[in-house]
Amino acid sequence: MAWALIGSDALPSRWAALADRQTLRSDLLVFPHHGGAFSESGVSYTVEDLLEAVSPSVVAVSVGSANRYQHPHPQVLADIRGWVIKNNARLVCTQLNEICRVAAAKAGAGAPNMPCAGTIRVSRSGGVLGVEPSLAAHATTVDAAADPHCRPPT
């Protein structure tokens, strides 16, 4: 059976408490709070701790390109990218955000709302998790930008 875990806005202390009480293993993790800063005063639970607890094959960051909070946070995405590469997982983002948009403009990649991966569709068939767009389609769109954070590992 394929499982998806939707991160919502839970703070690191809530994730730590959940991980202590139950298995969080899931095939897909929609990363909490649009990839915003994952920290809490006095709490040492990290991005890597969450990813290790969930051990997803796909990490999705759902973020709009014109958000005023400038999500996702660069360090959170760096941590996710490092974990994804180390664990042979996949990272997908919904759209170019402020961080990626600057790189896209420098690369002449088009309009500010150019999708990074566009809509992400998740399906389950016979216990198998399906994620669209395909890795190849995602890579083609992402490669139009100079250094988007949602670039899949090679």
Burial of 51 (0-12, 13-18, 19+ CB in 10 A): buried
Query: What are 133's two structure tokens?
Result: 């767009």
- Tell me which residue range forms the domain holding 18: 4-142
Q: Are 124 and 2 in contact (CB under 8 A)?
A: yes
Total domains in the fold of the chain: 1
Q: What is residue 89's predicted lDDT score, i.e. its pLDDT?
A: 86
C-alpha atoms less than 13 angstroms from C-alpha of 74 in its C-beta half-sphere? 5
| pTM for the predicted model, two decimal places | 0.70
Instruction: Find where tokens 């983002």 sit.
Output: 93
23-32, 89-98, 126-135, 145-154 — which one is most confidently predicted on average?
Answer: 23-32
Domain assignment present for 90: yes
Domain assignment present for 147: no
